A and B are shown apart, each in its own frame.
Chain A
Amino acid sequence: MYLAEDKAKASTVQPADGHCADTVDLMTAATAPGGKWQTFPNSHISHHGAACCDIAHEWLIAFDYAQLNGGDVLTGPRWMREHSKWGPTAWPIHWCEAVDADVVDCGVHAAIAQEAFVARGVPAFRAQFIQRYSADATASWRENWDKESVSDHWIDGDAIYHEGNAVLVGTDEVKLWDGSAGWWINPRGEMGYGSLAAVRIEADLEGFEDGLRWGERRIKLNQWVAV
């Protein structure tokens, strides 16, 4: 995950740094649905301002369309998970790096999927999730992220912060796409391992003052909503 405010100072960030320059207090208790991620911004991929990133971005849009294979434009960009596995990403990351990387985190997957959906003409919004796992799972991920010297601030106890997309499928109905998993999140709201504890959809309120419908729920925009 990469913080929006860092995009502005991307040129000053050394890619070798390997850690997110976040301003979130990692020790904040998860008292709200968002917990320590209460004000956490969505990840944004940086642009070198050069041909390398232009080429990568153009390739992404054309490649996604090619992969649609004649299918419905609402088909999730499942190809992303095949193209780049889920794993640690050192932030900041630029388009030319993100699109060509073998391993990327959910922030990259979500940022790429967002570009793909929008280029297809599908209204889509960035979405943030908090998911329940287990101590074993989060310990394992913490170890993997540590090995790559990448910040593991997305892990908090048995919970994790995750990113995806909310894709508009009706006038005010969305489906939630988890690009790192390659599936649509089940809106039935099961509890337990891997389940969704909270969601925040970042979108312009205009036209959606009552939020967006996801399954049986209505999700208020730009705020964490417990599931």
Chain B
Amino acid sequence: MKIYVSGLYAGGNPQPGVGIVRSLRQGYPDATIVGVEYSNRVSGIHFDELDELWIQRPWGELDLDAYGDKVCEALDAGGLWISGSDLEAMWLASVFPDGHPNLLAPPMSGIKRITKPVVEAASSLPIKIPTYLSTEHSDWDLHAFCREHNWRVWLKGPYYDASRTPTWDTFTAVRNALSKVWSTEKLFLQAHVSGYEESVMLSAYRGELLGAVSMRKRDITPEGKTWAGDVSEVPLAFMEPLRQMVRDTNWTGGGELEMVRDGSDQLWLIEMNPRFPAWVHGSTIAGHNLPALLVQAASGVVAKTVPAEASEFTRIVLEVPVRPDYPLPPLPEPFAGAVGHSMKHPSGLTALAARLHKIDPDMLDVAMAPDGTEPPNGLAELPDTFVADIGRQDFDAMQTPQYIYMESTAESLFKRADDRAHRLSTNDVEVISGYSIKTNPDKRLIKLALDHGFYAEAISLGEVQSALEVGFRPDQVILNGPGKWWPEGLMPRETMHAVFCDSIADLDRVVAAVAAGEMSAKHIGIRIRTPNITSRFGIPLDSPTTFAKLIAAVKRLPTDSAFGVHFHMASSHVGVAQWWHLFESMLRWCQSIEKLSGRTIEMLDMGGGWYPDDWHEDQISKIARAVERVRTMLPAVRQIASEPGKAMAQPSMALAMRILEIQEHEDDYVEAVVDASIAEIPMHFWQPHRMVRKCSETGELQPIGRGKTHLMGRLCMEHDIIASNVQLPEGTRAGDLLIFCDAGGYDRSMSYVFGRG
């Protein structure tokens, strides 16, 4: 009996080949086992249990047709083939679309049904699929997905490769890298599931399940790969649907379902692999020799059984002699002046991915939606008010770059916030909004805030003055922040609405100032820094000692002012669900503060950093519930202030710019220079902007999608790239007008004068 086994890479992230060989050797001591590989750098080829080696040139060099013929000859001659590589299994499935009795790998129809992330074939198993989104969606939607899942998300390619993308700039960088590696734009984002990792490995022949085992990871590598585990029987509730899945897919070969078990015991499927896992021999050690069962089913030759040695396994690192006929190749020299050696997979698997795309462009597609569903077009929809506001501009007379005030957009946003505050207010508890002046100190926005019943939230006395100049009264001002005494001499003597202390030192200064008659406020309170979230602001609650200091400090607050608590964390930064957890946590801290200090909280100020969509669209019911929660947990609260921040400002301005030059390079790669720069749009690393081109002929606003164009700013700075991977509409040329929406928040307030003369 001759058995070909591939996937012999035995590095830190090993393939299963060596484990398969070890297991087969136990079941078939006399079999001829041939190691198949595509590089002599793969260390597993030196494993002494291999009788023969069949070393091919790397995948990038191989003549696939000729190689396919050779594999066919080997199978026709009676050889059995167990693939240890996902991509090789896919290629074999393309060579043998109807299978081959001796090819112990799944058919293409089966592989297609386990495509990530939906893994349709596993839908009847008692497992869930973590939420995901195709990167074919617009950047606007992808950013929303990341926020919704607290930036605990993974960007994944069709096979292998998953990178955590905790920030937008990381996401865009990883997306570029993965798209290049896998020769596809079709990636997907998936929500992280926290828990313990476990797997089910199966062995099947022609739709019949031969065996399956369950394994829990007990030690892992830094990449999260199995280093040790315990093996057990698959529970019946899992086994029966698994058996049906194997029948439905007419599965042949090994397979692995990689899962996470969360705190409530729910299993989440991360992916299914069309091969045995690298820990396959761990199962054999536990008495479940699944590769031998596979060979037994295909050959009819009964495998030798070996009793279980243990129910747990672990790995060790061994040095083995190198085969003299395959001496180690030299390590490639690092590029001149560069650091480190290339550690790419030696067999060139990513080159195989590129070639598989050419054989069948859909073969490596991720599976997102049922067949027939229209795929997303990657374009963000523009709200009607954006279109109307842009339409009112006289761009012919406009010097660019230029911020555009989106008048009707801004008005509608402030009006909605005003209406909501009224709707949520009761006789007992008033709900108010505070306009955070720092987000955009444009007087038009401050005036809108005044006109719509907002209070003015200021972090400096300069901002207080701006609010007063527009028409706010001191008793409509909330003063906050770590530097509220700056600039000197501008503190209003009239009673302000609220003053929050950012530290105990700040609190002591406020207490002294109130005592000296230098300042007065209806509410005086504290900003708290909830643990577990990195922040430089507020009074920390990290230890009982700091908490005791806070309690003592609260007791020092003047009793003729009402007591307030301020809590602020940017929901766009920590994520929406995380923000609501923090909110709930903050209420609990407030209850403790009330209980221990003897002061009841009458005002609660909760910020902020809301992304516009999160605030305006689907948060209404949550905010109503939050108000109700405050009423329940802190019954003395009479006023709740919320600070929508950039939810008001960000959509209220756009940035118009013109294309100065278009440079076309090879492979559709285009660089376009525009007259704007990161000086006008400094947040481009951290958030997407909805972009349009104004067609010079029709005046139509054409959305800008994703493609191979980079928009370079006008500044002579390397990082002045204001948008990467965009697709300019057909016919775009120098002189054309581009408009970046969503630029009215920190883009506007943090813009600077560099490069303007």
Contacts and interface: CB of A to CB of B under 8 A. Distances in A.
A188 B592 contact: no
Given A62-B589, A65-B585, A65-B588, A55 B264 contact: no
Nearest to B551: A55
Contacts of B547: 55, 58-59
A100 B585 contact: no
Given A55-B551, A58-B595, A66 B532 contact: yes
Contacts of B585: 62, 65-66, 68
A70 B581 contact: yes
A30 B194 CA distance: 41
Nearest to B218: A186
B578 interface: yes
A188 B230 contact: yes
A137 B584 CA distance: 44
Interface in A43-83: 51-52, 54-56, 58-63, 65-75
Nearest to B582: A66
B588 A51 contact: no
Interface in B123-178: 150
A167 to B, nearest CB: 10
B264 A100 contact: no
B571 to A, nearest CB: 13
Given A52-B548, A59-B547, A169 B265 contact: yes
5 contacts: A54-B595, A55-B548, A59-B592, A66-B530, A66-B541
A55 B544 contact: yes
Contacts of B581: 68-70
Nearest to B312: A190
Contacts of B734: none
A66 B710 CA distance: 42
B387 interface: no
B263 interface: yes
A116 to B, nearest CB: 12
A201 interface: no
Contacts of B262: 72
Given A71-B263, A169-B265, A59 B541 contact: yes
Between A61, A62, A72, the greatest number of chain B beta carbons within 10 A of the residue's beta carbon is seen for A62
Nearest to A99: B544
A104 interface: no
Contacts of A65: 584-585, 588
A55 B311 CA distance: 48
Nearest to A95: B544
Given A58-B595, A75-B263, A100 B541 contact: no
B543 interface: yes
Contacts of B551: 51, 55
A6 B104 CA distance: 68
A63 B265 CA distance: 25
A212 interface: no
B311 A188 contact: yes
A160 interface: no
Interface in B508-566: 530-532, 541, 543-545, 547-548, 551
B532 A67 contact: yes
Across the A-B interface, the 3 shortest Cβ-Cβ residue pairs: A72-B263, A70-B581, A58-B592
Interface in A197-217: none
B588 A69 contact: no
Contacts of B194: 71, 75
A96 interface: yes
Contacts of A51: 551, 596
A63 B596 contact: no
A54 B531 contact: no
Contacts of B532: 66-67, 69
Between B232, B577, B584, the greatest number of chain A beta carbons within 10 A of the residue's beta carbon is seen for B584
Given A55-B551, A72-B264, 11 more contacts: A55-B596, A58-B596, A59-B541, A66-B541, A70-B150, A70-B577, A70-B578, A71-B263, A75-B194, A186-B230, A188-B230
A65 B580 CA distance: 13
A69 B579 CA distance: 10
A60 B541 CA distance: 11
Contacts of A58: 547, 592, 595-596
A61 B592 CA distance: 9
Contacts of B596: 51, 54-55, 58
A51 B598 CA distance: 12
A118 to B, nearest CB: 14
Contacts of B577: 70
A100 B545 CA distance: 8
Contact of A63 (B232, B541, B580): B541
Nearest to A175: B265
Nearest to B262: A72
Contacts of A72: 262-264
Contact of A100 (B265, B531, B543, B592): B543
Nearest to A56: B544
Nearest to A190: B312
A56 B545 CA distance: 8
B668 to A, nearest CB: 43
A82 to B, nearest CB: 11
Contacts of B530: 66
A61 B230 contact: no
Contacts of B311: 188, 190
B744 to A, nearest CB: 30
A135 B545 CA distance: 39
Nearest to B578: A70
Contacts of A54: 595-596
A63 B194 CA distance: 20
B625 to A, nearest CB: 16
A167 B530 CA distance: 27
A164 B286 CA distance: 30
Between A56, A60, A65, A66, the greatest number of chain B beta carbons within 10 A of the residue's beta carbon is seen for A66
Interface string B248-268: 000000000000001111000
Contacts of A70: 150, 577-578, 580-581
A213 to B, nearest CB: 13
Contacts of A62: 541, 585, 588-589, 592
B264 A74 contact: yes
Contacts of A55: 544, 547-548, 551, 596
A74 B263 contact: yes
Contacts of B592: 58-59, 61-62
A173 B585 CA distance: 29
Interface string B196-235: 0000000000000000000000000000000000101000
